[in-house]
Structure 1
Amino acid sequence: MFTGASNLSIDAKGRMAIPTRYRDALGVNLVLTADPSGCLLLFAADAWQPFEARVSALPNMNPRIKAMQRMWLGYKSDCEVDGAGRVVLTPEMRDYAKLDRKVQMIGQGDRFELWSERGWQDVIELAQRAMREDPPAELAGLSV
C-alpha cells in the first residue's frame, strides 16, 4: 500500500527518480496514465490490471463514462524503471499534467498521483475549503 508524499524533480531528459522506499513494491514495470483531475497516475503493472478491467467493464454508452475511459485507457503508457531508479515521463504526459521541474508524488493506496506544484496546491486548498465550509456527510462519524 502506497502512502505518503514526496517532492521530486524531473531532469532535462524528462526522468523522475522513484523514491527508494517504494522501488521494491513498485517493481520495474510500471503503468502511467492521465487522470481527469489533472494529475498523472502511476501504477505497478500488476496493480494496473484490475483497475483496467474495472474501467473497461463500465458501460461506455454513457458519454461521461466514455470520457473517463478515454483518459485512463487512452493515455496508458507502459514504462520501465531504469538501473538508476528513474522513470521517463513523456512530453505528452508532462504537458497534460503541467509538470515542469518539480513533481509532487502522492500515495493513494494501490497507485501514486503525480501533480505539478501548482496543481497540488490547488487540491490542498480545495480540500481545506471544503472541510471548513461544507464537509461531506460521509465524514460525519470520522474522528482524527
Structure 2
Amino acid sequence: MLRLRGNSPATVDEKGRLKLPSSFKAELETFAQGEGGRGLREGVSALRHYLTSLDGRSARLYPLPVWEAIEARLAALPSTSPAKRKFLETTAYFGSEVEPDAQGRFVIPPILREAAQLTGEVAVLGQMDHLALWNKAGFERRLAAEPLGADDLAQLADLGI
C-alpha cells in the first residue's frame, strides 16, 4: 500500500521542472515495483503519473495506477452526473500524464504551473496515495488563514482519529 507522508521542500526550475524529493521518489519506485505496477496497460511505465488539479490552486501528482483506480470508480457514475462532468473537465484541463526523467524531474505543464503559481520554492506534501504540490508562500498563507480547528478535529474524532 502506498504511504506518502510528510513535507519535502523543492524547487521548480526555469524550465518548469520539479525534481521529486528523494524520500517520495523512493516510495513511488517501491510502489511501482510492487502492487502499483500490476495491471497497468501494456506499454505504460509503472513510473508514469497523472499530474492535475481540482481547483487550480495546487497540483496533485498521482501514480498512474492510483489515478486509473479513480477513473474506474468514476466509470460507475452515469455520464449525466454533473459532479462527474465537472471533475473530469477540471482534471482534464489541468491534467497530463508525466514521467520523471533520469534525474527524477518532471515538467509541470504551463497551464497548471501558471494557475497554481508553481515556480521557485514549492511544498511537496505526502497525502497518502498522492503528492500535493503547492507554491510554498501560498501554502503558508493558506495554513494561517485556514487552520485545523475544533470542528475539523471533532469530525476526525468521529472517525476514531
* TM-score normalised by length of structure 2: 0.75
Which amino acid in the other structure matches residue 149 of structure 2?
M
Which amino acid in the other structure matches residue 78 of structure 1?
E
- Once superposed, what is the RMSD of the aligned Cα atoms? 2.4
Gaps of 5+ in 2: 30-46
Tell me the residue number matched to 1:87.
106
Shift of residue 90, structure 1, vs aligned partner: 1.6
Instruction: Tell me: CA distance 1:36–1:143, structure 2 relative to 1, closer, same or farther (3 Å).
Output: same
CA distance in 2: counterparts of 1:103 and 1:37, whole angstroms:
15
For residues 94-127 of structure 1, the C-alpha deviation after alignment (integer angstroms, 9 at most, x for no partner) is: 0121112111111111101111123312331244
Which amino acid in the other structure matches residue 48 of structure 2?
N
Tell me the residue number matched to 2:28.
26
Is 2:13–2:119's contact at 8 Å kept on the other side of the alignment?
no
Which amino acid in the other structure matches residue 62 of structure 2?
F
- More off after superposition, 106-115 vs 75-84: 75-84
Instruction: Tell me: CA distance 1:117–1:56, structure 2 relative to 1, closer, same or farther (3 Å).
Output: farther
Q: Is 1:139 equivalent to 2:156 in the alignment?
A: yes
Gaps of 5+ in 1: none
CA distance in 2: counterparts of 1:140 and 1:18, whole angstroms:
33
User: What percent identity do the matched residue pairs reach?
Assistant: 29
Tell me the residue number matched to 2:7.
5
Number of aligned residues: 142
Instruction: Tell me: CA distance 1:136–1:77, structure 2 relative to 1, closer, same or farther (3 Å).
Output: same
